[in-house]
């Protein structure tokens, strides 16, 4: 085992019998070299196991090749999205710094601002509300994964909640007339949108909403929501903010003696594995988190390069999945 220091560009140049500039050129664009020189340099690079010192490079070029992904610590950790985002970034030659931020919106936007100022990252992807108005701070572009997609598609703010309409329509087609919505944390655009679309759909279809419960994405909030309802409110269908909440709703319903889906239908969101195997299995919306992560990063990279926003490669299709937790209302 040899602790020997990594080779520098000069050592490579010496071994190859060329100047360090040529090696630098080789690094930038190997094809610009004469074949004979290229072979020499290649050989030297291999022999010395040379790897350019990225720190030195960054110093000179003022490019760090690093992105930051900011996420809020909270009940749902966006693992799939994060993994896909990080992989996409790596493929594009970027490294990914993950920053998990505790605390409220204030702390979050302060941390993001700090990150932008640090000069350490070329772009920031926020998987959580940022509380920032501008999408660029000190030259550093910021993409908020939650909201960009809709604006991009030109579908307006509410696009990502459009499935709520399908859910309500589906439930109505089963015969449901009295609905209830357990919303997610209203700091999140997605939660606000779903709530708005829910109300709008109910209104438009001439249905009845017994109310909206402002939850926080937790199962407990789902449980509390359903158990707080009056016994005679007549609700037969619940649109939950996500599967975890839906699970709480189901449990709460059972605890008051309501069967699911016999007395109450429950619709979730996210297609979580445990929801699929739960009893009753949850009707839900399958979301392509990987595509979201990929697209968010691609969008950020475009932003960095000053290119126009790319069309999402795989247009995210949120598919409704119908399972045991939804059925016609009781007669």
Binding site for a second copy (CB under 8 A): 3, 6, 49, 51, 53-56, 58-59, 64, 69, 71, 73, 75, 77, 79-80, 82-83, 86-87, 90, 95-100, 102, 117-120, 139, 218-219, 222-223, 243-244, 247-248, 250-251, 254, 272-279, 281
Q: Which two tokens stand for residue 4?
A: 């020997």
Q: 3-class DSSP state for residue 208?
A: strand
Residue 120 binding partner per list DNA, a second copy, none, with a CB distance cut-off of 5 to 8 Å that depends on partner kind: a second copy
Q: Which residues contact 91 (CB under 8 A, 6 or more apart)?
A: none
Spell out the long-range contacts of 260-264 with Cβ–Cβ below 8 A and sequence spacing 24 or more: 260/325, 261/324, 261/325, 261/326, 261/327, 262/327, 262/330, 263/236, 263/330, 264/226, 264/235, 264/236, 264/237, 264/238
Q: How far apart are CA 77 and CA 90, in angstroms?
A: 21
Residue 173 binding partner per list a second copy, DNA, none, with a CB distance cut-off of 5 to 8 Å that depends on partner kind: none
Q: How far apart are CA 125 and CA 296, in angstroms?
A: 7
Interacting residue with DNA among 5, 106, 306, 331 (CB under 7 A) = 5
Residue 21 binding partner per list a second copy, DNA, none, with a CB distance cut-off of 5 to 8 Å that depends on partner kind: DNA
CB of 98 to a second copy, least distance (A): 4
CB of 312 to DNA, least distance (A): 31
How many residues bind DNA (CB under 7 A)? The answer is 33
If one asks whether residue 45 binds DNA (CB under 7 A), the answer comes out as no
Interacting residue with DNA among 36, 273, 277, 306 (CB under 7 A) = 36
If one asks whether residue 19 binds DNA (CB under 7 A), the answer comes out as yes
Assess contact for 269 and 242: CB atoms under 8 A. yes
Assess contact for 310 and 298: CB atoms under 8 A. yes
Nearer to a second copy, 19 or 118 (CB): 118
């Amino acid at each position: 085992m040899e602790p020997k220091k990594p080779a520098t560009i000069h050592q490579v140049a010496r071994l190859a019998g060329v100047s360090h500039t040529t090696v630098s050129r080789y690094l930038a664009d190997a094809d610009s070299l004469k074949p004979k020189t290229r072979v020499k340099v290649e050989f030297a690079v291999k022999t010395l196991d040379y790897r350019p010192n990225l720190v030195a490079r960054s110093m000179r070029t003022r490019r760090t090749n690093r992105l930051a992904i900011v996420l809020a610590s909270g009940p749902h950790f966006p693992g799939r999205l994060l993994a896909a985002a990080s992989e996409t970034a790596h493929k594009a030659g970027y490294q990914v710094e993950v920053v998990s931020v505790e605390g409220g919106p204030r702390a979050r936007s302060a941390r993001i601002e700090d990150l932008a100022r640090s000069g350490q990252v070329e772009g920031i992807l926020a998987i959580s509300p940022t509380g920032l108005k501008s999408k660029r701070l000190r030259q550093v572009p910021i993409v908020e994964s939650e909201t960009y997609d809709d604006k991009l598609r030109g579908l307006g703010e509410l696009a990502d909640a459009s499935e709520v309409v399908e859910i309500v329509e589906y439930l109505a087609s089963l015969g449901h007339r009295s609905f209830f919505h357990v919303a997610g944390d209203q700091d999140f655009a997605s939660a606000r949108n779903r709530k708005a679309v829910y109300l709008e759909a109910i209104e438009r279809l001439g249905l009845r909403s017994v109310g909206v419960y402002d939850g926080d994405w937790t199962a407990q909030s789902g449980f509390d929501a359903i158990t707080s309802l009056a016994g005679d409110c007549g609700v037969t269908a619940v649109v939950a903010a996500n599967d975890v909440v839906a699970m709480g709703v189901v449990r709460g319903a059972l605890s008051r003696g309501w069967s699911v889906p016999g007395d109450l239908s429950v619709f979730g969101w996210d297609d979580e594995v445990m929801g699929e195997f739960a009893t009753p299995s949850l009707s839900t919306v399958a979301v392509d988190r990987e595509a979201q992560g990929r697209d968010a990063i691609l969008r950020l990279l475009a932003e960095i390069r000053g290119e126009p926003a790319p069309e999402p490669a795989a247009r995210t299709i949120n598919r409704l999945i119908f399972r045991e937790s939804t059925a016609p209302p009781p007669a």
